Chains A and B, each alone.
Chain A
């Protein structure tokens, strides 16, 4: 393991100050000399593997702002502090009641130990698990820009069929993000250029020609909170995650669904898809296709077809198109049948 400097800034402004001293405005957060660490379940792992190589770690866990550790439920919605642990949010009574899709997405992620350690901000910023990315002896455009993509013609069963490019097909594996993007969440960030709000859908970047650019964040920007607007009908929502084993595995395909129903007719649908795309994936076309329709297996299938109309299969992941569609159909029907 490479040697690095470890610091524990006392508050947000100190953390931003150190970060901006050791990074430039062109630096990508994941490639910068100084990087933030929260639970470390993603970053420490990647440092051991030689995938992430910061010289300086800024530990956020001692930041004194208490809001970073709080979940606040108001009439306007819900606000998660960035350092809230996955496990806390998953077990939170009001989260479970008002936004089952959020609680489910967290409960079905990782393992109990990891959920106790991992922060919500770290979770949404987790990096891909592409095998060729994780192991430094392979070619990888995301890790070493311009070096090629070993996964493209390699073993790509877990790779993305949506939002991919000729440079990178790595899946975004997180679950929580699918709930957030479906519910129009907003991310609060603070950096040397001030505080700002980022619509969740703008946070992650599709790979395009620059797969090493993963988010909209600057290297000295700290996520401080995640806000989800109030949405009374989100009580009818769920997260369905399909995987090779019953627990402790990433999604082969998943769906975050929230439905506003008038009897069996869809007033509004919110749909996001996990395990199949390079970034958190809002399925707008599927939502539109359901609007004003009676929700049954036929209309659900039509929505699923719309969601995957642009999907691009590779050698080992072609099944994800069919699986993704079926996952969405099942999720829609199960959400419809929820007793709320």
Chain B
């Protein structure tokens, strides 16, 4: 086995290649905008060039002259449908064509529809809006912000967690820090552009659009269009990168659906990369103040984390990572507070590890500062503050292997060879620095349905309305069925990404593997039960055997005694061509409405910090080496090692790949990624991949992922913790720690750039 396919250790599944790998690398995977659609018309958006004010007039004269123009959908044309709602399935409550008010830069003012893509683009470009402009508020420190408490503003962020008497403990602490940190606006920039293709067959609407939430969108789109959800179908077989950006539906979807209805023809609208910055969501910029107090022995007695986050005027999107940072270590006392800062910007949204990325960055950078203040090794400092129970509710962790992660990563990295003195390590003209940080991600699970059919020929068809956003969920779901039904993976077809399939929750919060696999497990076990019953019944081939003595393997039911029966023969004896089971999985703590809510597209999340018995998190430790040129100060990352424990690893290949991608993204967050906002106009400046930098191959050198074995039966029946969002948590803090070690400069504002190290 090579690095890409790590040998499974205890409680880990085989590194099966992705079932759709070949399709993807040979260009045969059809992404939503590639799905062949007959007689299609093309739509292009016109968007605002101001961030606040009113559209007084749209000048359309030149536009109407564009050959091939078919329609312009604009103000007034959406009056018969409802405005979007902000929430899990909706990116914003702003109905851009419901209201001539402009809430943010790049707001949709019209959709031009034409016979060709080029004509639509040209028409959209010629649409000239006239405005009544007002002075917009761009971000923190801009005039005109309004600051409100975040707690209770979002169902996902109910309270500011606290424990004990922070003020007293902090006042008494022998060693303390009080520092501020910040993270910038970031846009997901998936390589697949955002698109909507809509067509009507009678009163039945089909939408092809990359989506992480087909069921939620079906219901929300039907609500906006005031039609029965059963008349809406969302199709999204492959998604070319999502990272949260395709979780909530944006207002474009309904606009394109209305355009298709008006025209009586399919309409496809692919937004440009530049337009995505204003029409989609993004990671809000955040600011943090962290205070930590500890005794000389390094034991933390006081921890306070205050956060401020940019949001839009109408919608209270909450990042809110204090729930995790407040539970990370054995703090003694905890005080947290999160505030929202309202500005004239589009509504932010989920972006890979939405709360943890910025909040854990601030915490871990502060932990490193604290270790320095204590004169203590940063790994040792974490070890000393390892909790028995989490500090807020005093609940145990269902499992927590952070120290094992630190030990294994430190060993592989060679941490012992690090000279702790700042600036002591050099290689010619290059300053060498080494740093580390903790990764954490909450382990949640949601209800999920799945249908599995086993045929007399031994073929398996698995259907589940989850989403292949690149994580490999199609593969691991197939693998789960393969293991439970004893059928090889190439006999299994997995269908996902369609709202007409059994509903699955939104693919967010790293819940998919656990939720989907738990449902698949249920369906497969129901099939097993039927097969076993038939095989062991009077006159059956394995009569007398008990279910516990039976296994499914190689297309056979095999008894402990060695006797076996072909599955196909059992089915024939049952006089059926197939067994099909529809399973509805609900987590242990689910409410009685849980399944109903799944079908309504508003699934309950359980686990993480929500359960009574324990809190549930996955952990990791990341170590980074940086090199900084002594003259020019550019920062390079020759080595990064991460060790992660996340319960059952379904497939070591896809798990490693997710964690690797996360770590690379983390390097980008540390050194490259930022959306620049022109503060005068509250407009985005670097709206393309030339200026919005992410790491390229040359930036990533030696990267090692270690999968640390862990068993956790409490999290969900599959025993798996999500890890899709674990890898990029903490990375930026590890880089900041290494930069400090190399240079003695503590950088607290991301991304860390040359100019911060020149002074």
Q: Do A and B bind each other?
A: yes
Give A residues with C-beta under 8 Å from B: 1-3, 50, 129, 131-132, 134-135, 137, 150, 153-155, 157-158, 242-249, 252-253, 319, 322-323, 326-327, 329-330
Determine if B685 and A245 form an interchain contact, defined as CB atoms under 8 angstroms apart.
no
Contacts of B677 in A (CB 8 A): 155
Q: Is B28 an interface residue (CB 8 A)?
A: no
Contact B274 A135 (CB under 8 A): yes
Contact A2 B699 (CB under 8 A): no
State in angstroms the CA–CA spacing of A135 and B277 once bound together.
13
Q: Which B residues touch A326, using CB under 8 A? A: 631-633, 758
- Contact among A50, A244, A245, A330 for B125, CB-based, below 8 A: A50
Q: From the candidates B49, B429, B693, B758, name the one contacting A323 in the complex (CB within 8 A).
A: B758
State whether B678 touches A154 (Cβ < 8 A).
Answer: yes
In the complex, the answer to whether B636 meets A246 with C-beta atoms within 8 Å is yes
The B contact surface, by secondary structure, is loop
The interface residues of chain A, by DSSP majority, are classed as loop
Q: Nearest chain-B residue to A324 (Cβ)? A: B632
Which residues from chain B contact A154 at a C-beta distance below 8 Å? Answer: 678, 680, 685
Q: Min CB distance, B696 to chain A, in Å?
A: 5
Candidates A1, A242, A249, A319; contact of B693 at CB < 8 Å: A249
CA gap between A243 and B633 in the complex, in Å: 10
Give Cα A245 to B125, complex, Å: 33
- Residues of chain B within 8 A of A131, CB atoms compared: 676, 685-687, 691
Report chain A residues within 8 Å CB of B688: 134
Chain B: which residue is nearest A321 at the CB level? B758
In the assembled complex, B25 has its CB within 8 A of some CB on chain A: no
Query: What chain B residues lie within 8 Å of A50 (beta carbons)?
Result: 125
Check B612 for interface membership: any CB of A closer than 8 A: no
Contact in complex: A323, B754 (CB < 8 Å): yes
> Quick check: A129 and B699 within 8 Å, CB to CB?
no
Q: Report Cα–Cα, A323/B696, bound state, in Å.
A: 23
Contact with A along B742-759 (1 / 0, CB 8 A): 000000000001110011
Q: Given A153-B680, A323-B755, A327-B632 in contact, is the A1-B696 Cβ separation under 8 Å? A: no
- When distances are taken between beta carbons in the complex, the residues of chain A under 8 Å from B633 are 323, 326
A247 and chain B: residue at smallest CB distance: B698
Residues of the B chain whose Cβ atoms lie less than 8 Å from the Cβ of A252: 754
- Chain A: minimal CB distance from B127 (Å): 12
Q: Given the known inter-chain contacts A131-B685, A319-B754, A319-B758, please indicate yes or no for A245 contacting B121, CB distance below 8 A.
A: no
Taken residue by residue from 627 to 639, chain B's Cβ proximity to chain A (1 for < 8 Å, 0 otherwise) reads as 0010111101000
- Residue of chain A at shortest CB distance from B676: A155
**10 smallest beta-carbon distances between A and B, as pairs:** A319-B755, A247-B698, A137-B49, A246-B698, A330-B631, A326-B631, A155-B685, A246-B699, A155-B676, A242-B632
* Contact status of A1 and B118, CB under 8 A, knowing A247-B697, A248-B696: yes
B64 within 8 A of A: no
Residues of B contacting A3 in the complex (Cβ-Cβ under 8 angstroms): 118, 122
Can you name the residue of chain B whose Cβ is closest to the Cβ of A244? B693
Cα(A242)–Cα(B636), bound, Å: 12
Chain B 41-58 residues near chain A, CB threshold 8 A: 49
Q: Mark B695-724, 1 if CB is under 8 A from A, else 0.
A: 111110000000000000000000000000
Does B26 have its Cβ within 8 Å of any Cβ on chain A?
no
A-B contact pairs, 28 of them (CB 8 A): A1-B122, A129-B691, A131-B676, A131-B685, A134-B688, A135-B274, A150-B678, A153-B680, A154-B680, A157-B676, A242-B632, A244-B753, A244-B754, A245-B698, A246-B696, A247-B696, A252-B754, A253-B632, A319-B758, A323-B632, A323-B754, A326-B632, A326-B633, A326-B758, A327-B631, A329-B631, A330-B429, A330-B631
Q: Mark B98-140, 1 if CB is under 8 A from A, else 0.
A: 0000000000000000000010011001000000000000000
User: Which of B429, B631, B672 is the one whose CB lies under 8 Å from A244?
Assistant: B672
Shortest B660–chain A CB gap in Å is 18
Cβ contact within 8 Å between A247 and B699: yes
Q: Given A154-B685, A155-B676, A155-B685, are A245 and B754 neighbors across the interface (CB < 8 Å)?
A: no
CA distance A3 to B123 in the complex (A): 12
List B residues 302-331 near A (Cβ within 8 Å): none
CA distance A211 to B690 in the complex (A): 23
Evaluate contact between A243 and B632: CB separation under 8 angstroms.
no
CA distance A247 to B696 in the complex (A): 7
Q: Which A residues are in CB contact (< 8 Å) with B759?
A: 319, 322
Nearest residue in B to A249 (C-beta to C-beta)? B693
Q: Say yes or no: is B726 at the interface (Cβ < 8 Å to chain A).
A: no
Closest to A49 in B: B274
Minimum distance in angstroms from A121 CB to a CB of chain B? 22
Question: What residue of chain A has the Cβ atom nearest to residue B686's Cβ?
Answer: A131
Q: For residues 235 through 276 of chain B, which have their beta carbon under 8 Å from a beta carbon of chain A?
A: 274
Query: Does chain A have a CB within 8 A of B570?
Result: no
Q: Within the assembled complex, what's the spacing in Å between the Cα atoms of A12 and B18?
A: 53
Residues of the A chain whose Cβ atoms lie less than 8 Å from the Cβ of B636: 246
Distance, CA A319 to CA B698, complexed state (A)? 25
Point out the residues of chain A lying under 8 angstroms from B680, CB to CB: 153-154
- Chain B residues lying within 8 Å of A150, measured Cβ to Cβ, are 678
Any chain A CB within 8 A of the CB of B671? yes
Known: A1-B121, A129-B690, A319-B758. A245 touches B695 (CB 8 A): yes
CB contacts under 8 Å to A, within B664-698, are: 671-672, 676-678, 680, 685-688, 690-691, 693, 695-698
A330 touches B629 (CB 8 A): yes
B140, chain A: closest CB distance, angstroms:
16
Given A2-B122, A155-B676, A323-B755, the answer on whether A243 and B634 have CB atoms closer than 8 Å is: yes
In Å, the complex CA distance between A131 and B675 comes to: 12
Residue of A whose beta carbon sits closest to that of B117? A1
Tell me the minimal C-beta distance from A307 to chain B in angstroms: 15
Is there contact, CB below 8 Å, between B758 and A155? no
CA distance A330 to B634 in the complex (A): 12
Closest A residue to B699 by beta carbon equals: A246
Query: Chain A contacts of B676 at CB under 8 A?
Result: 131, 155, 157
- A322 near B678 (CB under 8 angstroms)? no
- Residues of B contacting A244 with CB < 8 Å? 634, 671-672, 693, 753-754
Q: Which chain A residues border B49 with CB–CB below 8 Å? A: 137
Least Cβ distance of B755 to chain A in Å? 4
- Besides A131-B687, A246-B636, 13 more A-B contacts (Cβ < 8 Å) are A3-B118, A137-B49, A154-B678, A244-B634, A245-B699, A247-B697, A252-B754, A319-B759, A322-B759, A323-B632, A323-B754, A326-B632, A330-B429
On chain A, the residues within 8 Å of B685 by CB distance are 131-132, 154-155
**In the complex, which residue of chain B has the Cβ closest to the Cβ of A131?**
B685
- CB-CB < 8 A to A248: which residues of B? 696, 698
Give the Cβ gap from A236 to chain B, nearest Cβ, in Å: 19
In Å, the complex CA distance between A274 and B633 comes to 17
Q: Write out the residue numbers on chain A whose beta carbons fall within 8 Å of the beta carbon of B118.
A: 1, 3
In the complex, what residues of B have CB within 8 A of residue A1's CB? 118, 121-122
- Bound complex: CA A326 to CA B513 (Å): 50
Q: Once bound together, how far apart are the Cα atoms of A61 and B582, in whole Å?
A: 61
A157 contacts across to B, CB distance below 8 A:
676
- Is B693 in contact with A245, judged by CB distance below 8 angstroms? yes
CB distance from A158 to the nearest CB of B (A): 8
- In angstroms, how far is the closest chain B Cβ from the Cβ of A172? 16
Q: How far is the CB of B345 from chain A (nearest CB, A)?
A: 16
* Distance in angstroms between the alpha carbons of A326 and B632 in the assembled complex: 6
Contacts of B690 in A (CB 8 A): 129
Q: Which residue of chain B is the closest to A322 with respect to CB atoms?
A: B758
- Give the shortest distance, in Å, between B217 (CB) and chain A (any CB): 30
Residues of chain A within 8 A (CB-CB) of B274 are: 135
A35 to B671, CA, bound (A): 39
CA distance A29 to B274 in the complex (A): 27
CB contacts (< 8 Å) of B686 on chain A: these are 131, 155
Centre residue among A3, A245, A248, A253 by max chain B CB count within 10 A: A245
Q: Say how far B120's CB is from chain A's closest CB, in angstroms.
A: 10
Residues from chain B with a CB closer than 8 A to the CB of A135 are 274, 687
Task: Please indicate the chain A residues that have their CB under 8 angstroms from the CB of B678 in the complex.
Answer: 150, 154-155
Q: Please indicate the chain A residues that have their CB under 8 angstroms from the CB of B755 in the complex.
A: 319, 323
Give every chain B residue within 8 A of A242 (Cβ-Cβ).
632, 634, 754
Q: Which residue of A lies closest to B753 (CB)?
A: A244
